Amino acid sequence: MRKQTYYKVGDHTFCISALDCVDIVTLLPSLQPFEQQDSSDSLFTLSLSELPLLTLDGATELTRFEWEGAECVINTTVNNQYEIIIYPHGDSALQRKMHINKEMDYAKVELLHNATDSFALNNFLMMLYAFVTALHGTLMFHASVIRHCGQGYLFLGKSGTGKSTHSRLWLEHIEGAELLNDDNPIVRYFPDGRVTVYGSPWSGKTPCYRNESVPVGAFVRLHQAPENKITRERPARAFASLLPSCSCLRQNEEQYNHICNTITAVASTIPVYDLECRPDEEAANLCFTTVTQG
């Protein structure tokens, strides 16, 4: 017998289907704060297969990239199905597959009962969530986000620019600051103009899995520099600052257009800043004062 377990992340519900004997809590512990009983309006189902998946007929490579320390290949077929292959640690002997139907409401992943199960399932689910919800005014950001006085402040930047460090400086020096997520928060733009940031089950190396949300107060793109300086971006530049930090399948034209439309709406609604900074208390205070009073 199979069981269906439902989760809600960013106010989007999805289902994981698995045999009764599969312990999802052990496989995906960070999902537990997001579990719910309500199955209404489920966007997609991720089914865990007990058998290895065969390569899809006619699959051709669409793109490949590094993702969470693994090599990832995305293939597509003539009838618009997707096949995603993850090579943990770049090792072809450890490859894992996920198949996604053309409607993107059903996917199947290999559950092979070995040491790579949790890693593969967690990353497949994160990609699937980002791809599906992109069509619903939702952005998965590569960012660290601080909550302060009922507002969320997202720190963006390339890997290694100090997003987590800047959040830590807020936690150390800004009274009332709390970490909402340290790697992959979810941002939603609503038709009435609201922009909300949510915690998620994906938080990088920091175990911060909060099923909570707040309105977005500002976005801040960080750059390492010898001096601390912050400026507010104009809307066109704000769009360019936000886009590189959003997860999406750019080769899917419909999805990419939705992402761009959502970013355009967000950038015209929420302040976006550029922060040249050192990793010090002064940078945190400068950023805090500017974004909370701007």
**Lowest-confidence segment of 63-77, 127-141, 160-174 by average pLDDT:** 63-77
Predicted confidence at residue 101, as pLDDT, reads: 96
* 232 neighbors 221 (Cβ within 8 angstroms): no
Tell which residue, 139, 129, 205, has the closest CA to residue 167: 205
Domains of the chain: which residue ranges? 2-136, 138-293
pLDDT tops 90 at residue 269: yes
Question: Percent of the chain at pLDDT above 70?
Answer: 100
pLDDT tops 80 at residue 67: no
Residues contacting 218, CB < 8 A, separation 6+: 151, 153, 154, 270, 271, 272, 273, 291, 294
pLDDT digits (tens, 9 = 90+) for 179-200: 999 999 999 999 999 999 999 9
Q: What is the DSSP string of the chain?
A: -EEEEEEEETTEEEEEEEETT--HHHH-GGGGGGEES--TTEEEEEEEESSPPPPPTT-EEEEEEEETTEEEEEEE-TTS-EEEEEEETT-GGG-EEEEE-TTSSEEEEE--SSTTHHHHHHHHHHHHHHHHHGGGTEEEE-EEEEEETTEEEEEE-STTS-HHHHHHHHHHHSTT-EEEESS--EEEE-TTS-EEEE--S--TTS------EEEEEEEEEEEE-SS-EEEEPPHHHHHHHHGGGEE--TTSHHHHHHHHHHHHHHHTTS-EEEEEE-SSHHHHHHHHHHHHH-
- The pLDDT of 61-80, averaged and rounded, is 90
pLDDT digits (tens, 9 = 90+) for 237-253: 999 999 999 998 889 99
- The pLDDT of 58-80, averaged and rounded, is 90
Predicted confidence at residue 234, as pLDDT, reads: 93
In whole angstroms, what is the distance from residue 8 CA to residue 94 CA? Answer: 30
Predicted confidence at residue 208, as pLDDT, reads: 97
pLDDT tops 80 at residue 92: no
Residue 93 or 192, more confident: 192
pTM score of the predicted model: 0.95
- The pLDDT of 129-137, averaged and rounded, is 96
CATH architecture of 138-293: Alpha-Beta Complex (3.90)
pLDDT tops 80 at residue 113: yes
What rounded mean pLDDT belongs to the chain? 94
- The pLDDT of 149-155, averaged and rounded, is 98
pLDDT tops 80 at residue 90: no
pLDDT band of 68, cuts 50, 70, 90: confident
